[in-house]
Amino acid sequence: MDTPALRLDGLTKRYGGRPAVADLSLEVPRGSFYGFVGPNGAGKTTTLSMATGLLRPDAGRALVSGIDVWQDPIAAKRAMGVLADGVLLFDKLTGEQLVTYAGLLRGMDRGTVAERAEDLLRVLSLEEDAGKPVADYSAGMTKKIALASAMVHAPELLVLDEPFEAVDPVSARTIRGLLDSFVASGGTVIVSSHVMDLVQRMCSHVGIIAEGRLVAAGTVEEVRAGQDLESRFVELVGLEGGGEELTWLRL
Ligand SMILES: Nc1ncnc2c1ncn2[C@@H]1O[C@H](COP(=O)(O)OP(=O)(O)OP(=O)(O)O)[C@@H](O)[C@H]1O
């Protein structure tokens, strides 16, 4: 029971000699709702891609429930559902076909997949668009159908890169409700986000990354240390360029 849902050990990735992620180690406790935050270009997507078997690290390991993602990818991927950032979907499929495909790919039987696809499309308010090609979906609808595809096999760990981006407030609330009850039932969720207020309200734990390195991690209470999370974030990552004014933009 003490095995973390996700453990990252010295993960490193360089692009053209420049480290995007440098020797990053992190533990995500089982049953936590973990926020992964950092400024633009800090290395969040690179880290989550390495953690979920989408991008091979130059060094380090990622373990999902103790299973090495790069040594035993099939077992590790069985245990997780992933909403990746910027990964192309098979968008000639309809929404319903895409979720069905994701379930069948996970080895689920057709009957169960059909029931769950119907439930997910209904809960995420995509029922009316279930028969439309995903290529014709809006950005928020695309995000929701990708989320449905990540959840259909009921994994023990959900890794969601920016799940609320482009999603309307009603759908965002629905998604939060789904994730809250998933965590309450023993599941683990990792979300990357730029919205500190949301992370503070929604997450039990938070990790802050800046320039490819982890600068703080722990429970939200520990990390924010009596301040609000946004102020603490700015304090930890700095406010480069934050105060500068563009005089030519004045009217
Ligand atoms: N395929 C790539 N080739 C070269 N450099 C890359 C590549 N992918 C990412 N990088 C670089 O790695 C660094 C980390 O990028 P990453 O996308 O992981 O950041 P992020 O924290 O997810 O940013 P954002 O909040 O803007 O989504 C950036 O400097 C980026 O330019």
* Nearest CA owner, ligand 1 atom 29: 41
Q: How far apart are CA 40 and CA 11, in angstroms?
A: 19
* Ligand 1 midpoint to CA 86 (Å): 12
What number is the average pLDDT over the span 126-135?
A: 96
Residue 45 Cβ < 6 Å to ligand 1: yes
Identify the pLDDT of residue 153. 94
Residue 51 Cβ < 6 Å to ligand 1: no
Q: Which of 59, 45, 66, 11 is nearest to 213 (CA)?
A: 11
Mean pLDDT of the residues in the chain = 93
Band (87; pLDDT cuts 50, 70, 90): confident
ipTM over 0.95? The verdict is yes
Cβ neighbours of residue 195 closer than 8 Å, sequence gap 6 or more: 164
With 80 as the cut, is the pLDDT of residue 69 above it?
Answer: yes
Q: What is the DSSP string of 9-31?
A: EEEEEEETTEEEEEEEEEEE-TT
Residue 42 Cβ < 6 Å to ligand 1: yes
Identify the pLDDT of residue 251. 82
Sole residue written with tokens 């982890």: 214
